[in-house]
């Protein structure tokens, strides 16, 4: 297992379209996190799962955003009716419950045109 994997690496979409990103965490990690990073800012928390349960969602996560983690393995983040303000790097991280450090994937760069 080589780490957290995110697909696609880059996505360009037209405003109003729906997009879905996938994250495959490190296999034994039961916690999975989604963050968003815009230029000049640090990553901002969106939501996290422990196994298949979504435990917390940020106020940043509008109704157009939904995340799932079926069977507690990979996770998907869907954005409906994309807006230009959704353009950002979407980062996924995973950790083992009780451990401090979280390990990040390489991110998905979303550009909404």
Partner 1 sequence: DQQVKQNSPSLSVQEGRISILNCDYTNSMFDYFLWYKKYPAEGPTFLISISSIKDKNEDGRFTVFLNKSAKHLSLHIVPSQPGDSAVYFCAAKKSSGDKLTFGTGTRLAVRP
In the complex, the residues that contact partner 1 under the rule CB under 8 A are 4, 6, 31, 33, 35, 40-45, 48, 50, 56, 91, 93, 95, 97-107, 109
Q: How far is the CB of 81 from partner 1 (least distance, A)?
A: 26
Given the complex with partner 1, which of 74 and 103 has the nearer CB atom? 103
77: how many CB neighbours lie within 10 A of its CB? 24
Q: Helix %, strand %, coil % for the chain, to 5?
A: 5, 50, 45
Q: How far is the CB of 8 from partner 1 (least distance, A)?
A: 13
Given the complex with partner 1, which of 7 and 80 has the nearer CB atom? 7
Q: How far is the CB of 90 from partner 1 (least distance, A)?
A: 10
Given the complex with partner 1, which of 83 and 92 has the nearer CB atom? 92
Q: What beta strand segments (E) does the chain contain?
A: 5-7, 10-13, 19-24, 31-37, 44-50, 53-57, 65-68, 75-79, 88-95, 103-104, 108-112
């Amino acid at each position: 297992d080589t780490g957290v994997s995110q697909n696609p690496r880059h996505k360009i979409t037209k405003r109003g379209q729906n997009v879905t990103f996938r994250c495959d965490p490190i296999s034994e990690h039961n916690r999975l996190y989604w963050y968003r990073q815009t230029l000049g800012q640090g990553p901002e928390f969106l939501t996290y799962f422990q196994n298949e349960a979504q435990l917390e969602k940020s106020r940043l996560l509008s109704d157009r955003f939904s995340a799932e983690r079926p069977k507690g393995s990979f996770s998907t983040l869907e954005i409906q009716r994309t807006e230009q303000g959704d353009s950002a790097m979407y980062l996924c991280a995973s950790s083992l419950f009780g451990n401090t450090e979280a390990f990040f994937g390489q991110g998905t760069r979303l550009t909404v045109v």
